[in-house]
A and B are shown apart, each in its own frame.
Chain A
Amino acid sequence: MAEDLTKRFSGLTAVDRLSFEVEQGEIFGLLGPNGAGKTTTIRILASLIQPSEGEAYVGGLSVRDDALRVRETIGILTESPSLYERLSARENLEFFAKAYGVDEPQTRGARIRELMEFFDLWDRRGDRAGTFSKGMKQKLALARALVHQPGILYLDEPTSGLDPKSAKDIRDLMERLSQREGQTILLSTHRLEDAERLCDRVMIINRGAAVSVASPRELRQRATGAHVVNVGLREVTETLREAAEAAEGVKAIEVKDGALSVTLASEGYTPILVRGLVEAGGSIMHVVPQEVSLEEAYLKVIGGE
C-alpha cells in the first residue's frame, strides 16, 4: 500500500503523490511511458531508495523503517537482468538463494533445480551466464527473483529489449507462474500487451503522477465512452433495423459490413436488444461488444493529460 509516495531528485519530481493498494494474489501493473516514474516507484517499494515524502507498506512492513525485512520479503526482477556473467547460471542462483536466507543445502538445491527446469535452463546450468541469449538471461533473472519463494514479486520491464518470440515466452511463463505460485505481482511495463494479458488492474502513470487506476477492460470501456455492440445477422432487413430502433436503451444504430452497430445506454440493455431482434425474425450470428483497444485507451488517457 502506497500513500502519497513522492520522490524528488535535485528538484525533479520523479514520483508525485502516488497512492494505491495492491491486493494479495493480484497482478497490478504500473503502465506508463519511459521516464514516467515506474522504476523509481519500484525502487522505493523495494526499499532501495527512500521516498522524499509519503509512506509505503509491503506485506505490512514500512519501506522506510523495515528496509532489510522488506528486501527479504520481496523478489525483484530489475530493469537489466543484473546477472554475474562470469559465474555459471547455477552459481548465480546459489549466491542469491543464500543471500535471501535459503540456507539448507538440500532445500536450496531442490528449489534451484525446480526453477531451472521450469525455465528450461537445467541443461545449461554449468554455463556462464555471459554466454546466454537475452531471453535466457531474462529467464535466469526471473528464476533468481523467485529462488526464495517470495510472496510478493516486482517485475520491472520484464519483456523490454526482447524479440517478440522471447517476449511472448516470458509472458507465458509469468502467466503460468502467477497461476502456479499465486504471488502478488507488481509489474512495471510500457508494453500494453503485457498489461492486457497479465494484469488484474493497471495504474497508468505519467510524469510521476497517477492518471488512472482500473482493470484493462474498464480502461477500454472508459475510453470507448458509450457501450457499442456489433450484432451480426444472417440478413439485415428494414424490419430488423426498425425492431432494433424500437428496443429499450438503444441510442443510435448504424449498418456496417452487413451487421448492426448499436449504441446502447448501458451494457444491461444488450439482452433486450437481442430479444427484440429475435422476436422480429432475425437470425443472430454473433453479438460482440465493441471496445477500443488498450493501446487506444492508453493513448487517450496519456494524451488527455
Chain B
Amino acid sequence: MRWSKVLLVFRKDLSEVSRNWEVMAPMILVPVILIVIIPVMVTLVPDSMSGSGNANLMDTIFPNLPEAVRDTLSPLPEGLQMTYIMLVYFFAPFFLVIPLMVSSVISSDSFAGEKERKTIEALLAAPFTDGELLMGKVLVSFAPAMGVTLLGFTLYTAVVDALTVGRFGFLLLPNLTWLVMILFLAPAVSLLGIGATVIISSRVKGFREAQQLSALMVVPVLALLFGQAAGFIIMGPGTLLALTVLVLVADAALFGVGVSVFNRERILSQSH
C-alpha cells in the first residue's frame, strides 16, 4: 500500500467534506449540545437534580457505583450526588454517540455520496489500488471523528470542572473510566460506524439513505445509556475494556465484509 496515495485520497475527501454543510452541521451541532449545553444546564440548575424522577435514578445507579465513589459522594447533599452521577456516569454514553455519528456521516458522504454524485468512476479509473482507496476513505471518516471526540472530551472536562470544582472541592474529570472510554472504546465505536457505513453504502444509491441507515448504529449506545439508568450496568474501566474487545471483534467482522464489497466492478455495477 502506498501511503502517499492513501493520504491523497484522505486530503481530497477532507476538502470535499469540509465544504459540505449537510455533513458539517451535525458534526458541530450535536457535540455542542451534548458537551456544552446539557452539562451547563445540569450544573447551573441544581434544583432540577432533586426531583422524584431523579431520586429513582439515584436508587438504581448509586448502589452499583464503585465503593470508593460511594464513599466520596455519601457526605455530599443529594443534589450534588445527582449532579456527579449525571455528569460522570449518565452522560458518558453520549460521548460514544459522537465518534459513531461523525464517522457515519462522513463515511456516508465519502462512500455513498461519491456514488450519488457520479464522481466514483473517474476515481476508480485512477491508478489507486482498492486498498488505498478504502484506507483513504476510512481515514477521512476516522480522523475527524476522533478529533471531534478528543476535542469534545477536553472541552467537556474543562466545562464540568470549571462549573463544579467550587462545590465539590475536587476535579470530577478526567478519571480512569473516561480515559478508557475516550482512548479505547470511542475509536473502536468509530470504526464500527465506518464499517457498517461501507457495507450500507454498497447497497444504497445516495448519501442520505446511507446516513439514515447508519444512524441505526446508535441503538446499541442508547441501550448502554438506558442499561446504566436502569441499574443493569455501570460504566467502569473493566466494563468498558470488555466492551472495547467486543466492539473490536464486531469491527473485524464488519471490515471483513466491507473489504469484500469494496471492489471496482461491484461499485460500478451499482452506480447506475
Contact = CB atoms under 8 A, between A and B. Distances in A.
Interface of A: 9, 43, 46, 48-50, 68-69, 71-72, 76, 78-80, 82-87, 91, 95-96, 98-101, 141, 144
A83 B15 CA distance: 14
Nearest to A95: B12
Contacts, number: 64
Contact of B265 (A46, A49, A99): A49
B8 A95 contact: yes
A180 to B, nearest CB: 23
The 10 A-B residue pairs with the shortest CB-CB distance, nearest first, are A82-B122, A72-B127, A86-B19, A71-B127, A99-B126, A78-B121, A80-B118, A49-B265, A76-B125, A95-B12
Contact of B268 (A48, A84, A144): A48
A80 B264 contact: no
19 contacts: A48-B264, A49-B264, A49-B265, A49-B268, A69-B127, A71-B125, A71-B126, A76-B122, A78-B121, A82-B121, A86-B19, A87-B16, A87-B19, A96-B122, A96-B126, A99-B126, A99-B127, A100-B127, A141-B122
A46 B126 contact: no
Interface residues of B, number: 24
A214 B126 CA distance: 31
Contacts of A96: 122, 126
Interface in B92-147: 117-129
> Looking at B8, B19, B127, which has the most chain A CB atoms within 10 Å of its CB?
B127
Contacts of B128: 99
B203 interface: no
A43 B122 CA distance: 11
Nearest to B118: A80
A68 B124 CA distance: 11
Nearest to B20: A86
Given A43-B268, A49-B265, A99 B8 contact: yes
B260 interface: no
A216 B128 CA distance: 37
B10 to A, nearest CB: 11
B121 A80 contact: yes
B5 interface: yes
B81 to A, nearest CB: 50
Contact of A84 (B5, B8, B16, B265): B16
A82 B265 contact: no
